[in-house]
Chains A and B, each alone.
Chain A
């Protein structure tokens, strides 16, 4: 991890710990939703941003993670904290299977296969209503019972998000990360240069899916409900939006994007009203047209100027 990333991680934790005491209580829910999207999109960033696999079925994995954890809690009484692990494992396992399935497909076809998979998951969840509760959803227990349940859930979300951020930052700077980038940039050349591309393709996909599963399980126990809508296509659009306007393939991208799409959107809700989707869609089109790197690119361009201004200001 680089120094800046450690600073950002510390700021996230400190700000998160202070927030419930200074902000109105509705904000713990909003920040928890932010945590959910941040973990989910950190996963997708590993799949698409690091490894270059355009998975359009990413939202199937929080559904798998969420239902796994909720069903295990209901039937064998698994504590929600272990449910987070179980949800991540279940989604990761499914990620390995789908990862093996998509070894031979690339680009647009990979997108179609994963999209189809997400639709299948969605249909199965709705159809098997005796097991999953159908469209009505399935109840999941809170992390703790009592009046502090929401606050505890909030802190768990904060911890998980920070963990996901730290892990993805370590991966970004590690040798494993280099292998993933090589697969992203040119999979044939990587294979010819001694990189085990099959393994790393499945690894990147699985790692991202496992985080999505953790996110889903967190969501289920936080809201005490998991329903098929978390695996819907509009959610997938949101995932793409978050990562692309945040900065695809960067460490901070998913966090920045989630912050914008969840928290800034909430702040501006009175002003934007029902037009938020329209505004976000416009921003995404503008980002894709003018700043491919999203917010991170803007920061990278602007920050040297700011640094110079600051140095001039303090007289150096």
Chain B
């Protein structure tokens, strides 16, 4: 991979390494996220996917390397500054502000004076529940709330951490439809960590595969599904069989 950014690149990571003491999570990762794409990040458990997200959002400071967003270096900044630069995120296990109402959850993240959340809450189907405390919501509703909260910061790039994990098939379908709308209506680039392959194969434009702290493959869904390294590390022989 070269050091020059690809055309249309919104976020560039260069030679990124992260280690906690002696434990190396990933090493020398370089990747480009192209604007207006849905980019998926896959890999077995412990591959370093969530850590990568935490590095991008500033929760961890990468041990080495550089992350640039819209041409500005963001690695090393505090998370709230990175958020204000235009990167929103959700968590694997939803973390809304439990003792605040749905509306306040969005209000606190948006810019001061921005109080028109009708569109966002309609999208998540939470407008009627806007005065309820977040802790009274169901698991899926909390996830939707978190999603609309991330959109309330008006991001250009949205990082999703396993947004459909733990949802039943109906809920998964609804969530996929919402993600598709977010992508098309809000013109937002999405980096999506996910385990549910069928969902990724259907929606993603570009896939990165992380394995044991290294980027072992990238490409369009069809390429990834037939990549021997990916199959060996993650998908399993069965998947290859199905595709053929």
Contacts and interface: CB of A to CB of B under 8 A. Distances in A.
Contact of A197 (B80, B84, B88, B109): B80
Contacts of B80: 191-197
A189 interface: yes
B229 interface: no
Nearest to B110: A194
Contacts of B107: 175, 178
Q: Top 6 A-B pairs ranked by shortest CB distance?
A: A185-B97, A194-B83, A193-B109, A178-B108, A189-B95, A191-B79
Given A182-B97, A194-B83, A194-B84, 7 more contacts: A181-B97, A186-B96, A191-B59, A192-B57, A193-B80, A194-B80, A249-B99
Most chain A CB within a 10 A radius of its CB, from B58, B104, B109:
B109
Interface range, A side: 20 to 34
A253 to B, nearest CB: 14
Nearest to B111: A194
A179 B110 CA distance: 11
A198 B81 CA distance: 12
A190 interface: yes
A174 to B, nearest CB: 11
A137 to B, nearest CB: 41
A39 to B, nearest CB: 25
Interface in A157-174: none
A198 B107 CA distance: 19
B112 interface: yes
Most chain B CB within a 10 A radius of its CB, from A175, A190, A192:
A192
B83 A193 contact: yes
A57 to B, nearest CB: 24
A193 B59 contact: no
Contacts of B97: 181-182, 185-186, 189-190
Contact of A182 (B91, B100, B112, B153): B100
Interface string A180-219: 0110111011111111111000000000000000000000
Contacts of B91: 189
A234 B88 CA distance: 46
Interface residues of B, number: 25
A192 B59 contact: yes
A195 B80 CA distance: 6
B149 interface: yes
Interface string B63-94: 00000000000000011100110001101000
Given A190-B97, A194-B80, A194-B83, A181 B149 contact: no
B238 to A, nearest CB: 37
B95 A186 contact: yes
B112 A175 contact: yes
Contacts of B149: 193
Most chain A CB within a 10 A radius of its CB, from B58, B80, B99, B153:
B80
B153 A185 contact: no
A251 to B, nearest CB: 14
Interface of A: 175, 178-179, 181-182, 184-186, 188-198, 249
A182 to B, nearest CB: 5
Contacts of B88: 193
B95 A179 contact: no
Contact of A178 (B59, B98, B100): B100
Contacts of A191: 59, 78-80
Given A184-B99, A186-B95, A186-B97, A178 B104 contact: yes
A226 to B, nearest CB: 37
A2 to B, nearest CB: 14
B13 to A, nearest CB: 18
A196 B95 CA distance: 17
A8 to B, nearest CB: 22
Nearest to B155: A194
A235 to B, nearest CB: 28
Contact of A188 (B59, B100, B109): B59
B109 to A, nearest CB: 4
A195 B109 CA distance: 7
Contacts of B121: none
A189 B153 CA distance: 13
5 contacts: A179-B108, A189-B95, A192-B80, A192-B83, A194-B109
A57 B153 CA distance: 36
Nearest to A179: B108
Most chain B CB within a 10 A radius of its CB, from A189, A193, A197:
A193
Contacts of A184: 99
A184 B109 CA distance: 15
Contacts of A185: 97-100
B150 interface: yes
